[in-house]
Structure 1
Amino acid sequence: MLTHCQVPLIARAVGERGLISQLLGPKYGAFIVNGKTEPGLPPLASIRQIYKLDCVNSHTKIFGVVSNPVGHSKVPLLVDDLSEFFRVYSCNDFAGFSVGLPHKETALACCHEVDPLALLIGAVNTIIRRPSDGLLIGYNTDCEASITAIEDAYRGSSVNGRPPNVSPISGKLFVLIGAGGAGRAMVFGARSRGARVVIFNRNFERAKALAEAVSGEAKPYDGFRPEKGMILANSSAIGMEPNEDQTSISKPSLASYELVFDAVYTPRNTRLLQEAAEVGAIVVSGVEMFIRQALGQFKLFTHGLAPEEFMRKVVLEHF
């Protein structure tokens, strides 16, 4: 409406889906932006301070998080139908996208070109619109982010006895819960480091398909025999706000794991991680993966190195 209107217009969109219209209003000529007076919107002062609306103009490039739910993200693009979203928002000003649940696998088919690693994994978490021709290029930064977070946690602990050139997860049993886009990135990364892989998922056929892709095993929850020194990685949404009381595995079972990683980062210290620490496991928060994948995305978005120290400070203050 703002783009095509020939006279001054006040546009009000409310709720979660309305936030992005307020953030981008100045770009498209709006002279009034709504704040908390409308349902689902943050205070106006917060909008101005965080998003610097005084600096937004018609030349502003847009980089946002495409997900559902997406309320926990700072530049939220609440999307139900990913292909329809890209069809509608096709101009070069929509320059880059961080892809979240549940779209990481669907995003693969929406891209005109896909980086070989993302193609191998079968999931995309980063999309760039190439300025020269407007084509969508897909990448995956989740893989290295999750695996290096786990490796560095091992290297900083007393249980790592591997030489510097050998991954501390090589030869270990990597147990994955969840078989979605983030989980695919994790197990492909784990296999690339020499780990053995076992996958649990509520949809057993989906777990089997992923296990076959990485030469791993899919197991039913009641048919698994633990072994010493295992790694547990939760890639499901179990334990995410507002369901912080939930966990993907019982506390007694956690005693079999040497390291526990949880991709959930809201809250930062999930029930799974709290109980894993209580039984003596090394714990790795999803916030660490979140930061590392964002560092990779920043480089793809800007072609420059991210201000890592500043980004860590901001993220850790937020969470």
Structure 2
Amino acid sequence: MNTKTEIFALIGNPVEHSLSPVMHNAVFALMGIDARYIALRTDSAGEAVNRIVTSGIRGGSITIPHKVSMMNYLDDISESARHIGAVNTFVHRDGILKGDNTDWIGIVRSLKESMTIKSKTIAILGAGGAARAAVYGIMQEGGIPIILNRTEQKGMELAKEFVCTYHPLKHIHDIRADVLINTTPVGMAPAIDAAPVADGVLKNFTWVMDIIYNPLKTALLRKAEAAGCCVINGLSMFVHQGAEQIWLWTGRTPPGDFMKTVVEKALET
């Protein structure tokens, strides 16, 4: 690391669990890019922007809880991120702070490795930034999203915004869909035994996807397999969205297989 090394950062709270630094730093080294990716725990989006500007951070990732609030502090926002109403990526260039969203690309590419999204009914657990990205991506591909959320007002507002269906989470027993996607943090390490829904409802879905990648097989996915569902873990989405971030930061396409291997090895240790 020297004075020419560009700094990229993960902005959020908490950030200690994330493997983004491991993945991105490995790719920078492989591709010969003089850059370092660090994790910055920040309590507010305003504090995050102040640290980005004063430290000369060139770009990075935005995670919980700043994906929506960060939008208020950006100079420019991509069309997709504006439609989604959340950002997970930023680029700081020529004094301009631009936000983007690669979560939807990660979700879509991950799903398309296993199925055609068009005409599929896809139930989405949650109504936060990742859920917004999922709804947007699914609709872009011609799928039919159904939002399921514990807080009714938030779920209804999201459904109204995207003109799709909402059901309270307590009514999940009545839902039948091709796919169930968990976009909530329920089941993430260290609370690995938690699941966002009861075991008995999983038989109503052919596929169950969890965007959590640590652990790779969450309690939800273990229970879904036991119920006879096909499952998709969060690794593919994590790699796809990260690869798209590197392209936005550097204009270069990173090797996805290498990124996947790096994360898998990190999860084993």
Whole-angstrom CA distance in 1 between matches of 2:117 and 2:6? 40
Give the 5 Å matches for 1:29-108. Answer: 56-73=1-18, 74=21, 75-91=38-54, 93-108=56-71
Q: What code does the residue aligned with 1:153 have?
A: S
Whole-angstrom CA distance in 2 between matches of 1:198 and 1:300? 30
Whole-angstrom CA distance in 1 between matches of 2:87 and 2:51? 20
Secondary structure class of the residue paired with 1:277: helix
Alignment correspondent of 1:148: 109
- How high is the sequence identity, in percent, across the aligned residues? 31
Secondary structure class of the residue paired with 1:144: helix
Alignment correspondent of 1:298: 246
Q: Given the alignment, which residue of 96, 100, 112 partners 1:135?
A: 96
Secondary structure class of the residue paired with 1:266: coil
> TM-score scaled by structure 2?
0.88
Q: What code does the residue aligned with 2:96 have?
A: L
**Count, aligned residues:** 248
Whole-angstrom CA distance in 1 between matches of 2:47 and 2:192? 33
Displacement after TM superposition at 1:263 (Å): 1.1
Displacement after TM superposition at 1:101 (Å): 0.8
Displacement after TM superposition at 1:91 (Å): 4.4
1:183 matched to 2:131? The reply is yes
Whole-angstrom CA distance in 2 between matches of 1:117 and 1:222? 31
Higher helix proportion: 2
Instruction: Flag structure 1 segments of 5+ consecutive residues without an equivalent.
Output: 1-55, 155-167
Q: What code does the residue aligned with 1:64 have?
A: A
Q: What code does the residue aligned with 1:308 have?
A: G
1:203 matched to 2:160? The reply is no
Question: Contact (CA 8 Å) 1:199, 1:219: kept in 2 or not?
Answer: yes
Displacement after TM superposition at 1:170 (Å): 2.0
Secondary structure class of the residue paired with 1:315: helix
Q: What code does the residue aligned with 1:72 have?
A: H
Alignment correspondent of 1:235: 183
Alignment correspondent of 2:26: none
Q: Deviating runs (4+, > 6 A) in structure 1?
A: none
Alignment correspondent of 1:226: 175
Q: Given the alignment, which residue of 87, 111, 118 partners 1:170?
A: 118
Question: Contact (CA 8 Å) 1:176, 1:233: kept in 2 or not?
Answer: yes
Instruction: Flag structure 2 segments of 5+ consecutive residues without an equivalent.
Output: 22-37
Alignment correspondent of 1:251: 199
Higher strand proportion: 2
Secondary structure class of the residue paired with 2:58: strand
Q: What are the Cα deviations for residues 80-113 of structure 1, in whole angstroms up to 9, with x where unaligned? A: 1111221243147310110111111112112100
Alignment correspondent of 1:53: none
Whole-angstrom CA distance in 2 between matches of 1:262 and 1:252? 17
> 1 or 2 for the larger relative contact order (CA 8 Å, sep ≥6)?
2
Displacement after TM superposition at 1:72 (Å): 1.5
Question: Contact (CA 8 Å) 1:197, 1:211: kept in 2 or not?
Answer: no
Alignment correspondent of 1:125: 88
Alignment correspondent of 1:116: 79
Question: Contact (CA 8 Å) 2:150, 2:170: kept in 1 or not?
Answer: no
Question: Contact (CA 8 Å) 2:235, 2:260: kept in 1 or not?
Answer: no
Whole-angstrom CA distance in 1 between matches of 2:51 and 2:11? 14
1:289 matched to 2:249? The reply is no
Q: What are the Cα deviations for residues 13-54 of structure 1, in whole angstroms up to 9, with x where unaligned? A: xxxxxxxxxxxxxxxxxxxxxxxxxxxxxxxxxxxxxxxxxx
Secondary structure class of the residue paired with 1:153: coil
Secondary structure class of the residue paired with 1:64: strand
Secondary structure class of the residue paired with 1:260: strand
Instruction: Determine which structure has more spread, i.e. the larger CA radius of gyration.
Output: 1
Secondary structure class of the residue paired with 1:101: coil
